């Protein structure tokens, strides 16, 4: 008994069918690859540690854990009946999770 060998399709319809199969396989492979990369990215982002606090800063932290100074950004001065408030607003910026942010007064 002879073993059948793979022959190239000769008719245009058979060639189109073979090309469609190859494209479908390639599309599935790309979908699996992109999905795997997305899962890897989510795992990396979920397991990364919070940024280390700025070295040399002695900030109060009653909660314990990492401490970070808030970026210095304030509003304009406000005059309230002879009392001038220089910085009525304090912008905390991006606050990382599980980190105490201490504003500068």
**pLDDT digit string, tens, across residues 41-99:** 999 888 877 665 554 456 666 666 766 666 555 566 666 677 776 665 666 777 777 77
User: 27 or 62, which is more confident?
Assistant: 27
For the segment 19-41, the average pLDDT, to the nearest whole number, is: 94
Mention every residue, 6+ apart, whose C-beta is less than 8 A from residue 78. Answer: 84, 85, 88
pLDDT of 56: 44
For the segment 18-35, the average pLDDT, to the nearest whole number, is: 94
pLDDT of 78: 67
pLDDT of 47: 86
pLDDT of 55: 45
Q: How far apart are CA 65 and CA 63, in angstroms?
A: 7
For the segment 20-30, the average pLDDT, to the nearest whole number, is: 95
pLDDT of 28: 96
Mention every residue, 6+ apart, whose C-beta is less than 8 A from residue 89. Answer: 74, 75
pLDDT of 48: 79
């Amino acid at each position: 008994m002879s073993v059948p060998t793979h022959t190239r399709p000769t008719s245009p319809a058979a060639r189109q069918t073979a090309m469609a199969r190859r494209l479908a396989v390639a599309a599935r492979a790309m979908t699996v690859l992109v999905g795997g990369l997305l899962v890897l990215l989510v795992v990396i982002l979920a397991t990364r540690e919070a940024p280390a606090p700025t070295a040399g800063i002695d900030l109060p932290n009653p909660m314990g854990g990492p401490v970070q100074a808030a970026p210095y950004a304030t509003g304009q001065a406000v005059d309230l009946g002879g009392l001038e408030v220089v910085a009525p607003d304090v912008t905390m910026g991006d606050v990382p999770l599980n980190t105490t942010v201490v504003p500068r007064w």
